[in-house]
Structure 1
Amino acid sequence: MSAHYAIVPAAGSGSRLGGEAPKQYQLLAGRPLLHHSLATLCDCRSIERVWVVLAPDDCWWRHYDWTSLGHKLEAVFCGGATRAESVANGLRAAATVALDDDWVLVHDAARPCLSPAMITALCDELADDAVGGLLAVPVADTLKRADSGQRVARSEPRDDLWQAQTPQMFRYGLLTRVLAEHPGGTDEASAVEAAGLRPRLVRGDASNLKVTFAGDLRLAAMILQAQAQAQARWGE
């Protein structure tokens, strides 16, 4: 059976969020934002190793205790100038153990509300897929295209439009090749698409939000609290 590994690129600064610390280290529910994503991935039985890719000059990581996340986690200080570079460098770090047919889940450090159920759904639905795919949700809101004066130029049809999330899951060999050939995409699926392949969309959940602005931190805190309460009730 193919193994499952995870890579979390976390070399950016997240300047739109504001604050003194980079986004991935701002506190959420008493822990760095990054901690929540890593904890869920490390706790997943099907994932064997987790690499978090940090900037070479990252001075924040060592300020926190990550030992509770266990032996699966490895921090590598080889982040690049872009997400694609960071993921590619993470893939090189994984080359010591990963085989071409193994699965790699790439997850945003700024999506702290990833749940075990989401990982299970992604892995189960893509288990026999020839390409791989990603979590995504259908676009629900009406879309407006703006003109240069920030007025509505026209409404855009939302039929068949999905909002991409992470994790995005592809074979190690495929992902390594397409990122080398098509490094300009904003996510891994973009590189796979540029190679002429069609990733599968696996329905995710709106709770798997990406923290971008300060208000997103408050929303993420409420989601995490609700998840913890639901888990407590389930365990009773």
Structure 2
Amino acid sequence: MPKQYQTVAGRPMLGYTLSAFDACSEFSQTLVVLAPDDHHFDARRFAGLRFAVQRCGGVSRQASVYNGLVALADFGARDDDWVLVHDAARPGITPELIRKLVGALRHDAVGGILALPVADTLKRVAPSMPDAADDHPRVARTESRDGLWQAQTPQMFRLGMLREAIERARHDGHDLTDEASAVEWLGHSPRLVQGSLRNFKVTYPEDFALAGAMLATKA
């Protein structure tokens, strides 16, 4: 089962994200973008929450976001409307974090993202050696963490600007990993709004236990 549907602290992980956005009445719509062959989604598990569904997901995150932006026009969205893109695998998002991002960016000319300054020491891995005795990588060098931030979501931009940015990146042959990268591709500089450690992305198997403990404590 895809991780966004797995149960964490008694609820499907996606439910925490939908609840956070549902609690923000200033949003006119929350759109869940699904793959056309997604057979795991069950709207009954999220009864009582405001959202719509479009089965327009693509082969990559960039394609899915782009298709979702196009689909928003069917709900009356305009190019100058703000849109926030969020990973379903970040169940720690809260209405407070969402409102913090919106409050910081609503009058910004570009938009921006939640992010955290990098706190850990960063190591660059050396290229693998064909005669290495084991499969553990070795350090090539230590990278400076000065000025480095770890991107989170939501990422908030004007719909038209973000769609154009993704179109430009695709035209140039790039499949970018977040929306800010696409906007940077247009030559803009998104703002960074400090996020929270609780808004981490569930990626590794042990992350489920950490998310469960965090969300259970919140409840």
Match of 2:186 in 1: 195
Match of 1:166 in 2: 153
Provide the rounded CA distance (Å) in 2 between the counterparts of 1:63 and 1:196: 39
**Are 2:90 and 2:200, in contact at CA under 8 Å, matched by a contact in 1?**
yes
Match of 1:82 in 2: 60
Provide the rounded CA distance (Å) in 1 between the counterparts of 2:37 and 2:44: 16
Provide the rounded CA distance (Å) in 1 between the counterparts of 2:97 and 2:25: 14
Alignment of 1:1-236 (within 5 A): 21-62=1-42, 64-69=44-49, 72-96=50-74, 97-149=76-128, 150-183=137-170, 184-228=175-219
Name which of structure 1's ranges 145-154 and 55-64 shifts more when overlaid on structure 2.
55-64
1:98 deviates by 0.8
Aligned residues: 206
What SS is found at the alignment partner of 2:52? strand
What SS is found at the alignment partner of 1:68? coil
Match of 1:17 in 2: none
User: Could you say which structure has the larger radius of gyration?
Assistant: 2
% identity of equivalent residues: 52
CA RMSD of aligned residues (A): 1.2
Provide the rounded CA distance (Å) in 2 between the counterparts of 1:148 and 1:85: 31
Provide the rounded CA distance (Å) in 2 between the counterparts of 1:92 and 1:157: 39
1:227 deviates by 2.2
Which ranges of 4 or more aligned residues in structure 1 deviate by more than 3 Å? Answer: none
TM-score, normalised by the number of residues in structure 1: 0.84
Segments of 5+ residues of structure 2 without an aligned counterpart are 129-136
* 1:109-135: CA deviation from partner (whole Å, max 9, x where unpaired): 100010111111100000110000000
What SS is found at the alignment partner of 2:42? helix
1:67 deviates by 1.7
What SS is found at the alignment partner of 2:161? helix
TM-score, normalised by the number of residues in structure 2: 0.91
* 1:10-65: CA deviation from partner (whole Å, max 9, x where unpaired): xxxxxxxxxxx111111111222111111111221121100000010111113742
What SS is found at the alignment partner of 1:155? strand
Provide the rounded CA distance (Å) in 2 between the counterparts of 1:166 and 1:112: 11
